[in-house]
Structure 1
Amino acid sequence: MDMQHEGSHIARQTSDRAAAAAAAKKAEFLTFRLGAEEYGIDILRVQEIRSYEEPTRIANAPAFIKGVVNLRGVIVPVVDLRTKLGCEKVEYNGFTVVIVLNVHGRVVGAVVDSVSDVLELSSELIKPAPEMNTTVDTSFITGIASVGERMLILMDIEALMSSADMGLMDTSQSLQ
């Protein structure tokens, strides 16, 4: 009887470990749209989602930096992801939102066309991004996920926001 009890205990431990490993291979992504494309970013980087308000423009800032907003006493730079990623221009509308991100301890806003939902994706749904021989920097794309009819481009928003051309991060900070 003890051997049977011991065997079921080991089986239960093994299934618990398998469940823990399966849970560890899942991640939650906030999905949003830029034109026809749908992107996903790690939900843990998202602080909040706000309706778009016209930021205060900063002189000589790159075109993709729309300006800054005051978020409860914190001055937050706002980046237009359409402009940053070379998408066509679009008029802002009622669906346009700012995703407020926490990147390397710095608060940054990202303007997107709309937010779709939060998806939990297992690692087997995520395929590596195709290698492209191009001058476009695709290093921030971490993978492609197919969810039903949807094709999601998963991006490392930290890598994108802390890239040198953004000028938002002190390079010594991004190396930590």
Structure 2
Amino acid sequence: MTRQFITFQLGDQILGVDIMAIREIRAWSPATPLPNVPAHVRGVVNLRGVVLPVLDLRHRLGWGLTDPSARHVIIVVRIGEQLQGLIVDAVNDIVEVPMETMQPVPDMGDVPAASFLDGLANIDDRLILILALDRLADAGPSLAEAA
């Protein structure tokens, strides 16, 4: 059995998200900040009448802050019952990964980024970090509680 992933860049890292979770890919637009939200939540944007929280994925993974520019994109994903936007540097392509080739994330101790990964895939000599979207939204107050 194979699964399809959309791959994207965060700096030199290639990450992947299950294609079934993707709702759309849109150009960067500034987010309206909200008070009392976790630091990785950059704010909200209006997506055709729906208020969409925008997460700084780089910051959420513990890799520093993103300084968004016109070259960045927002990947709109469904996490649980909510749509959320992920700020990424660039979208790459769609890859098919045979499930039997997925590797588990090695135990690296207390490394924040590792807790957000579902596994690793090696495609065309590129190591792709597969995100566990459900874990990205865990921990901390919900946006409704913060606003």
TM-score (norm 2): 0.89
**Deviation for aligned residue 1:90:** 4.2
Q: Which runs of 5+ in 1 are unaligned?
A: 1-24, 171-176
| Residues 78-157 of structure 1 aligned to structure 2 (within 5 Å) | 78-134=54-110, 136=112, 138-157=114-133
**CA–CA separation in structure 1 for the residues paired with 2:78 and 2:66:** 26
RMSD of the TM alignment (CA)?
1.9
Deviation string for 1:94-124 (max 9, x for gaps)? Answer: 3310001112121111111111111111113
* Higher relative contact order structure (alpha carbons within 8 Å, sequence separation ≥ 6): 2
Amino acid at match of 1:157: L
Partner of 1:8: none
**Structure 1 SS opposite 2:59:** helix
Query: How far apart in 1 are the matches of 2:62 and 2:140?
Result: 14
Percent identical pairs in the alignment equals: 35
Distance, in Å, in 2 between the alignment partners of 1:169 and 1:38 is 31
Gaps of 5+ in 2: none
How far apart, CA to CA, are the structure 1 residues paired with 2:56 and 2:140?
Answer: 14
Is 1:164 equivalent to 2:139 in the alignment?
yes
Hey, what does 1:29 align to over in structure 2? 5
Q: Which structure features the higher share of strand residues?
A: 2
